A = this chain, B = another copy of it.
Amino acid sequence: MDLLQAIAQRHSYRGKFTDTAVSRDDLRMIAQAGLDAPSACNGQVASLVVVDDVPLVREIAAIVDKPVCWTAKAMIVCAVDPRPVFADLSFAAEDCAAAVENMLLTITSLGYASVWLDGVLRREHRAARIAKLLGIPDRLTVRVLLPIGVPAEPVSGIEKLAFDRRAWFNRYGGEG
């Protein structure tokens, strides 16, 4: 799929998924796109656990307790090493987000859908419970979960502010 088409068609999906499985080849392509994302100081602090074992997917869905996870056919968990990579600065949030965005675009381009789950993992020790389930070491933090599948419902975008409410040339609030 064309890049700009993927960017325009990527929307957060919280509906049901069909029974169609997500192939390993596709999951590998999605994960590779995540690993290809930029990484501060080439620290490569983000790592991925791709979950396509059905009982394991169900166990994670039970932890996350969000409807979109109940019918997900696969999941990708992104964990980061939060230690600084440059002086006292960590860019783990940025590295993870860039990897997630690459994966969401690739998911879209392959005809699947997903949603970026982050805040929910920070409640009720969900991140730590998922980490334990997947054998992710204590030194890493589970930050993002992407439930993946073929959408059973239309994937539509939410209303966004117009260009000139968020972007301007040469001066904040200037010519949009």
Residues of A participating in the B interface, judged by any CB pair closer than 8 Å: 1-4, 6-8, 10, 12, 24, 27-29, 31-38, 40, 42, 44, 46-53, 56, 79, 86-87, 89, 91, 93-98, 100-102, 104-106, 109, 116, 118-119, 122, 134-137, 158, 160-161, 163, 166-174
**Which partner residue on chain B sits nearest A122 by CB separation?**
B89
CA distance A67 to B134 in the complex (A): 44
Which residues of B are found within 8 Å of A6, using beta-carbon distances?
3
A31, B109: Cβ atoms closer than 8 Å: no
Q: Smallest Cβ distance from A66 to chain B, in angstroms?
A: 14
Q: Smallest Cβ distance from A14 to chain B, in angstroms?
A: 12
A38, B116: Cβ atoms closer than 8 Å: yes
A170, B86: Cβ atoms closer than 8 Å: no
Q: How many copies does the complex hold?
A: 2
A40, B158: Cβ atoms closer than 8 Å: no
Q: Smallest Cβ distance from A62 to chain B, in angstroms?
A: 16
B170, A48: Cβ atoms closer than 8 Å: no
CA distance A37 to B102 in the complex (A): 11
B48, A167: Cβ atoms closer than 8 Å: yes
Q: Smallest Cβ distance from A107 to chain B, in angstroms?
A: 11
Say which residue of B34, B40, B97 sits within 8 Å of A98 (CB atoms).
B97
Q: A3-B105, A31-B167 are in contact. Are A135 and B173 (CB under 8 A)?
A: yes
Which residues of B are found within 8 Å of A10, using beta-carbon distances?
36, 38
Q: A4-B109, A171-B134 are in contact. Are A40 and B102 (CB under 8 A)?
A: no
**Which partner residue on chain B sits nearest A35 by CB separation?**
B166
A38, B104: Cβ atoms closer than 8 Å: yes
